[in-house]
Amino acid sequence: TIAFILKLYHQWNLFKIKYYYKSTPEDLSHNRLITGQAWNEFCDTLKGAQSAISNGPQDALSQAEGYRFLARVTRAGLAAFLEYADPNVPKLHSLIGETIKMGADNPDNLYESCPLLSNVTYKLKGIRRSVKYLS
């Protein structure tokens, strides 16, 4: 049943944490995750960011744009650090795009990134001369 499958999935994740990521239940990060402390700290930090918006222009449009920017930057950060954070399986992803602006990004550019390990050699495939600049 579903409950059995979820229990196996949970046990598999605990096994991965302990043996693959070399973590133990005593590990501070593990405890912060299990207790919800990490999530609470994240939410508190996000609440604190509200002061940057409230200290800005007080008209409704500026306030709405401030919250919109904060939401978009938060979404980009969550994607980068949760969904695309594994340097063992790097995947190019776009942090900046049509709906996520970081300020002064060039609309003619395609910004993509991924985490890499310094002790690994990677092979980037593409079509030669299809981009003017790659860094």
Digit-coded pLDDT (tens) for 86-100 = 888 898 888 787 777
* Host H or E run for residue 76: helix 60-78
For the chain, give the mean pLDDT: 84
Give pLDDT, residue 26: 66
pLDDT level of residue 2 (50, 70, 90 thresholds) = confident
Comparing 34-43, 50-59, 99-108, 109-118, which segment has the lowest mean pLDDT? 99-108
Is 92 within 8 Å of 112 (Cβ atoms)?
yes
Handedness of CA 93, 50, 59, 104 (dihedral sign): negative
Higher pLDDT: 38 or 29? It is 38
Helix (H, G, I), strand (E, B) or coil at 113: strand
Q: What is the pLDDT of residues 47-85, one digit of tens each?
A: 999 888 988 899 999 999 999 988 988 998 888 888 898
At residue 64, the pLDDT reads 94
Say what the pLDDT of residue 25 is: 60
Q: Yes or no: say if 12 and 21 are a contact pair by the CB < 8 Å rule.
A: no
DSSP character string of 40-66 = HHHHHHHHHHHHHHHTS--SHHHHHHH
DSSP E strand stretches across the chain: none
Q: What is the pLDDT of residue 9?
A: 83
What is the predicted pLDDT for the residue at 28? 66
